Chains A and B, each alone.
Chain A
Amino acid sequence: MRQQTFAARWFAYVVTLYNHVVGNRSPDANPAARGAVLSVEKLSKSYGQIVAVDGISFEVDHNEIVGLLGPNGAGKTTTINMILGVLEPTTGTITIEGVNLAAQRSRALACTNFAAVYAPLPGNLTVYQNLRIFGMIYGVKNLQQRIEDLLKQFDLERFRDTKCGVLSSGEQTRASLAKAMLNDPQLLLLDEPTASLDPATAREIRMRIRDCTIQGTGGVLWTSHNMYEVAEVCDRVLFLSRGKILLEGDPKTLPREHGKETLEELFITIAREPLTLEVG
């Protein structure tokens, strides 16, 4: 284990002391009533005349993995960006663990985290440095131990002092996932988390996130274009097309309910002919 410098240790000590004295009001200190982890109501986003997301409503419950599916441009990433607080909705509300995101952004995001292929960790910092910095931002308690656990859990121990920029895409994804699990989030947003992983690692990661969700108390919103993965890991799926939710249901039974053999067939139908399945 690389020795920390005296300055870094002193710095961490001062920060810990301050937080101990002032008090770190994390959401855990005042847990919300056990409703849905995520509640999205009549959410929409427009750019001028273009409607990217059109009044969608859905929930993610505790211990539930919800798949957000849809063709490119359907509004999945726009939805995730709004839930992450980096994009303001045109209308609608987002509630995370009973906390309104628009009204109490910091409190809502303290129990949220995400990993996305398009948001890698800064490549000029090592895996350890990235985890330490984001751990401080998320106010993680016993951060050092948490980092050690995550390095082990995501098989990153040998890359601890390696800059993220020189890792392979699969290793970078694992580092991003470790960062996403830092604060043991109640709401985990995963945008194509296994896109650059080999099948064996992808399966392992899926199982790990699945186990975390079952054993923990949080919920996961998961986007993927891999329908096999979605069927394996998700409890429920939402099909999004042209900014609207067209279908919702169990990924194992939904294809048959709509006369299709597989989830992939259903996906292709929605991508090509959304009007044939449009409801409401």
Chain B
Amino acid sequence: MLLSRTAAIPLRHFYLMRGSFARVLPLFIWVAIDIVLWGFITKYLNNVTATGFNFVPSLLGAVLFWDFCSRVMHGVTTAFLEDVWSRNFLNIFATPLSIYEYVAGLVISSIVTSTLGLVVMVVLATTVFGLSFFTYGVMLAPFLLVLFLFGIACGIFGSAIVLRLGPASEWFIWPIPAMLSPFAGVFYPLSTLPRWMQWIGHALPPSYVFEGMRAIVAGRPASPVMLLFGAVLALIYILLACWFFTYVYRYAVRTGLIARYSAETVS
């Protein structure tokens, strides 16, 4: 794997963002809106509930973590969609760039864009709504790592779907985080869910992050074993997503889908 080939993908993304307000703004605006909205909701809940329970680290923290995971996924898919939107498949896939170098380039692009979103969220949540990350202690790093890995897996999987089904199928992948959030127990313990939803929840790495986060907020320690399990699960999902992307890519090369991608032929 050559770094220069891989680096060309994030450099392309940098060039595009540098000259495009429409690309830079969404990196911040939606997460900022989410933090502001949920920040005020948590403030309101803190005022109207007499339990003395602080909703900021559980609800606002959960929103921040989940938005980070979503931004990571969207970072990968957006970098991929740039090639779809500019009809660049033939140019990009007729080069020595391997599929692994290409996917690695998408992931690096996502690391940069999602970090920018995370910084904005952290600044807003801490300065305006008093969210303290010291609440989560040393578990903050594994929390973010698991969510990052799962976001990468979702992003690669989503890109494979668009590659397989054609440009119009991007509609399918934008709502993936929203579709997963009820199962991942972002705002409530998994035990709240019916049994079949719990099974799905246990198969999702973020659920271990949110269970751990709620345990810490409630004054109990988060289980490192469960978090490790979540991290391993997320790594397995990345491998599966890479396999799926490679499978779809090979299918596209075999059937000529890449060469006539804009025709949206699903056969």
Contacts and interface: CB of A to CB of B under 8 A. Distances in A.
Interface of A: 5, 7-8, 11, 14-16, 18-19, 22, 24, 47, 77-78, 81, 84-88, 105-107, 109-110, 112, 114, 116, 118-126, 129, 132-134, 136-139, 179
A132 B95 contact: no
Interface string B156-179: 000000000000000000000000
Nearest to A84: B94
B3 A121 contact: no
A209 to B, nearest CB: 18
A161 B147 CA distance: 39
Contact of B11 (A8, A81, A122, A179): A8
Interface residues of B, number: 35
B256 A139 contact: no
A137 B5 contact: yes
B96 A110 contact: yes
Contact of A88 (B5, B18, B20, B254): B254
A85 B253 contact: yes
B86 A11 contact: no
Contacts of A16: 4
Contacts of B96: 105-107, 109-110, 137-139
Nearest to B253: A88
B7 interface: yes
8 cross-chain pairs, A with B, having the tightest CB-CB distances, nearest first? A122-B86, A84-B94, A136-B8, A110-B96, A106-B96, A119-B90, A18-B3, A109-B96
Given A122-B87, A133-B12, A138-B95, 9 more contacts: A19-B3, A47-B256, A86-B89, A106-B98, A109-B94, A119-B91, A124-B20, A124-B85, A133-B8
A171 B89 CA distance: 21
B2 A19 contact: yes
B267 to A, nearest CB: 9
A137 B95 contact: yes
Interface of B is mostly: helix
A232 B266 CA distance: 42
Interface of B: 2-5, 7-8, 11-12, 14-16, 18, 20, 82, 85-98, 250, 253-256, 258-259
B93 A11 contact: no
B1 to A, nearest CB: 9
A14 B85 CA distance: 29
Contact of B95 (A5, A14, A47, A134): A134
A24 B93 CA distance: 20
Contacts of B11: 8, 11, 132-133, 136
A16, A77, A121, A139 interface centre (most CB from chain B within 10 Å): A139
Nearest to B251: A88
Contacts of B20: 124
A22 to B, nearest CB: 7
B88 to A, nearest CB: 5
A78 B98 CA distance: 21
Nearest to A18: B3
Nearest to B255: A47
B4 A24 contact: yes
Given A86-B253, A86-B259, A124-B86, A136 B94 contact: no
A22 B3 contact: yes
A86 B94 contact: yes
Given A81-B259, A85-B253, A137-B96, A123 B4 contact: no
Contact of B256 (A19, A81, A122, A133): A81
Contacts of B250: 88
Contacts of A7: 14
Nearest to A118: B90
12 contacts: A15-B7, A19-B2, A85-B93, A86-B253, A88-B250, A105-B96, A107-B96, A123-B86, A124-B20, A136-B7, A136-B11, A139-B4
Contacts of A18: 3-4
Contact of B91 (A8, A15, A132, A134): A134
Contacts of B8: 133-134, 136-137
A19 B4 contact: yes
A77, A116, A129 interface centre (most CB from chain B within 10 Å): A129
A8 B82 CA distance: 20
A116 B20 CA distance: 28
B3 A15 contact: yes
B98 A105 contact: yes
Contacts of B3: 15, 18-19, 22
B95 A86 contact: no
A107 B98 CA distance: 10
Contacts of B87: 120, 122
A119 B93 CA distance: 12
A251 B95 CA distance: 31
B8, B12, B95, B259 interface centre (most CB from chain A within 10 Å): B95
Contacts of B82: 122
A85 B94 contact: yes
Contacts of A136: 4-5, 7-8, 11
